[in-house]
Amino acid sequence: MALNRIVVLIGGVGGAKLGLGLARILPAESLTFIVNTGDDMTYYGLRICPDIDTLLYTLSGRVDPINGWGVAGDTRQMLETLRSYGEMPWFGLGDKDIATHLLRTSMLNQGKRLTEVIAYLAQGMGVAPRVLPMADEPVPTMIETLEEGTLAFQEYFVKHRWQPTVKMIRHGNAEHATLSPEVAQAIAEADAIIIAPSNPWLSIAPILAVPSMREALLARDVPRVAVTPIVKGMAIKGPTAKIMTELGLEVTAESVAAYYGPLLTGFISDAQDIFLDLKGLRSAAFDTMMPDEARKIALARELLEWLEGQ
């Protein structure tokens, strides 16, 4: 089948690798990202959307190639000045990065929807595929931890370097969020839905917590395929494996597939993993490691060809 409209549910650094690969080979009008905003926070009055910014910086070529987030060649003059005033900032804010946050914050304060603001930022950065926040309303991910009580996501992730033990993950304000017209339309028109190899619990679950999101996805009789973030019992990066253990799950690709459940019609595992039992899902195994742009494009191409063959 022809793939004219691909929708990708996606988080930050890990997912953005596949996002870049897809953006390199698909026409821009064929590609829509629905991005986790559960990580968002307001810091010194700035509205920060880490996953959206990571994707925009990655797709625009601005991203810091070492970290995979933030802007290449960024400086920390603002942050160092705050420190000189006696403040103790714990979240990294590069001077170039601040331009994104300032523009976003001032547009939101003027009453623009986040979806409109991100479209404006994407255009400003020359990003052609559509980048949609999962919702216009804030749905802050709250992490209930054993040692530190309930933490806002960035407190857990950055301030505490994802060391506290996760007991439960909640999606604050989710009941007041709505499917934006843009997200609803993108899903309604999709020929295939891809879940990027992002953290299912931290990056994809918030997207699925938006009311009607899951139903809108399930209503589409098109391939709905996840790419595994787990390879041979390990996460490529970040706390996925640690969290799975803390939630009492086996750290396997099967656990990820089981977590997504009926949402999936297919699953892409890593070629290094063998003897996976993916319970009736259409599946394929590719090299899902994407250390460089060539491998990002290669995985995107294999995935798209496999989808077209269905």
Residues forming contacts to a copy of itself in the complex (CB under 8 A) are 44-46, 71, 74-75, 77-82, 84-87, 94-96, 98-100, 102-103, 105-106, 109, 121, 123-125
Q: Cβ 103 to a copy of itself, closest distance in Å?
A: 7
Name which of 96 and 214 has its Cβ closer to a copy of itself. 96
Please, which residue, 85 or 275, has the CB nearer to a copy of itself?
Answer: 85
Burial class (CB in 10 A: 0-12, 13-18, 19+), 282: middle
Give whichever of 100 and 199 is closer to a copy of itself, judged by the CB atom.
Answer: 100
Q: How far is the CB of 85 from a copy of itself (least distance, A)?
A: 3
Burial (CB < 10 A; 0-12, 13-18, 19+), residue 17, is buried
For residues 306 and 51, what is the distance between their CA atoms, to the nearest angstrom?
27
Minimum distance from CB of 178 to a copy of itself (Å)? 25
* Closer Cβ to a copy of itself, 74 or 254, answer by number: 74
Helix residue spans in 32-165 (DSSP H): 50-59, 77-84, 95-109, 114-125, 153-154
Least Cβ distance, residue 156 to a copy of itself (angstroms): 22
Strands (E), the chain: 6-10, 31-35, 41-43, 46-48, 130-133, 141-145, 149-152, 166-171, 192-195, 224-227, 230-231, 234-235, 266-270, 282-286
- Minimum Å gap between C-beta 71 and a copy of itself is 7
Nearest to 157 by CA among 172, 140, 133, 132: 140
* Residue 92 or 233 having the CB closest to a copy of itself: 92
